[in-house]
Structure 1
Amino acid sequence: MTTMTTPKASPVFSVCVYCGSKPGKQPEFAQIAVQVGTWIGAHGGQLVYGGGRNGLMGLMAEATLAAGGTVVGIIPTALVEKEWAHHGCTELHVVDTMHERKRLMADKADAFLALPGGIGTFEELFEVWTWRQLGYHDKPVGILNSLGYYDGLMAFIGQVVQEGFMGEWQTELVTLGTEPEALLQTLVQKAGFSPRAKVELI
């Protein structure tokens, strides 16, 4: 099932963002989510996300809409029944399973970005990273390491490489950044859009 609000002009680019359904303990995390949504909306982009109204997810969606962007939420029926859905999305797709949700999110995105979040965020990040490694897509993947949130994870990934379970080339499939706007612009550029015509001059 899909519900839609008033149609907008076609977005310039589409970024799938994974992030927490909770706000986190540090207020900076909420500010980061708002920055990401505002940048996407202000540059004529589309946010693709898990369709929730809580935590960083809800803040990011609201910021994207407020800045004039398009928001595509994709959420399984079970979470709608728990009243977690954001019904103000430009498009809200209600699907049967988590697998269908993630596949549709990937189909609708030009790039992927992970913000701070919990186990669901980690699972989605690793899955889309794995898909790129296996050649199922060639879309850029980014990790926003604001406040050093992902320092521990990246240290562990380094250990995995040292132990021979990953190669350096696999780590290079992900772009790490600490500044939301700079990382978003990098991902959009890597997705094949001209930064002057498509982003900077909007």
Structure 2
Amino acid sequence: MRRIAVYCGSSTGRSDIYEQESTKLGKALAERGIELIYGGGAVGMMGVTANASLSAGGKVTGIMPRMLQEREIAHPMLTDLIVVDSMHERKSRMADMADGFLILPGGAGTMEEFFEVFTWAQLGIHKKPIGILNADNYYEPLLTMFDHMIREGFLHESYLSMLTIGRDSGRLIDMMEQYDPPTMQRYVND
């Protein structure tokens, strides 16, 4: 993989572990020569990940809607900042540029971005790896929800093989690089 889109929070959360894991991820991407594609912000988990990658000599591209850039929250030190007209264009550009997606702890926006690329994988729109960094067990409730969706017949169990889940960012990237997309099948009532 040459580029990974990272979706994460615009705050750092309550646990120091989230910030520590963001730092580890940024460094791991730079050390592997993988470009970080992200929302372009200087704050929260976004800023921490970008700073760590830049500090380790990595390439970092931010994609930010004009309305957010005008609020002066764009990271000033990026390798490249692409300014777009809307949030929809931001997500589309990030998805097009990325060879894979990695989800860190975050809020509603992070979840929305994750579910979009996960849904696209289920529909066969892309065959790129999707990693979830389960820092400090942040995503355990989501994993429990997936089990509930499967039990209730709203998610086919095989779709979970489209996700790579781990607690160590370096190992997670390694697993994502070995991702072999499942053969698409047609499931009734999914």
Which bin holds the TM-score, normalised by the shorter protein?
A: over 0.9
Paired position in structure 2 for 1:19 = 8
Closer, same or farther: CA 172–34 of 1 in aligned 2, 3 Å: same
Deviations 1:22-73 (A, max 9, x none): 0111111100000000000111110000000001100100111111110010
Deviations 1:126-145 (A, max 9, x none): 00000111111100001111
1:89 aligned residue (62, 66, 78): 78
1:136 aligned residue (125, 130, 149): 125
- TM-superposed deviation, 1:191: 7.5
Contact 1:13/1:44 (8 A) holds in 2:
yes
Within a 5 Å distance, the mapping from 1:1-202 to structure 2 comes to: 13-190=2-179
| 2:172 counterpart letter in structure 1 | L
Contact 1:111/1:191 (8 A) holds in 2:
no
How far apart are the structure 2 equivalents of 1:123 and 1:139? 17
Q: Structure 2: any 5+ residue segments left out of the alignment? A: 182-190
How far apart are the structure 1 equivalents of 2:113 and 2:35? 19
How far apart are the structure 1 equivalents of 2:123 and 2:70? 35
- Count residues with an aligned counterpart: 181
| 1:108 counterpart letter in structure 2 | M
SS in 2 for 1:24: coil
Normalised by the size of structure 2, how large is the TM-score?
0.92
| 1:58 counterpart letter in structure 2 | G
Paired position in structure 1 for 2:185 = none
Normalised by the size of structure 1, how large is the TM-score?
0.87
How far apart are the structure 1 equivalents of 2:40 and 2:164? 25
Moved over 4 A (4+): none
Q: Structure 1: any 5+ residue segments left out of the alignment? A: 1-11, 193-202
How far apart are the structure 1 equivalents of 2:92 and 2:38? 12
Closer, same or farther: CA 86–191 of 1 in aligned 2, 3 Å: farther
Contact 1:110/1:191 (8 A) holds in 2:
no
How far apart are the structure 1 equivalents of 2:148 and 2:171? 27
How far apart are the structure 2 equivalents of 1:189 and 1:64? 22
Contact 1:13/1:188 (8 A) holds in 2:
no
What do you get for the CA RMSD once the two structures are aligned?
1.3
| 1:170 counterpart letter in structure 2 | Y
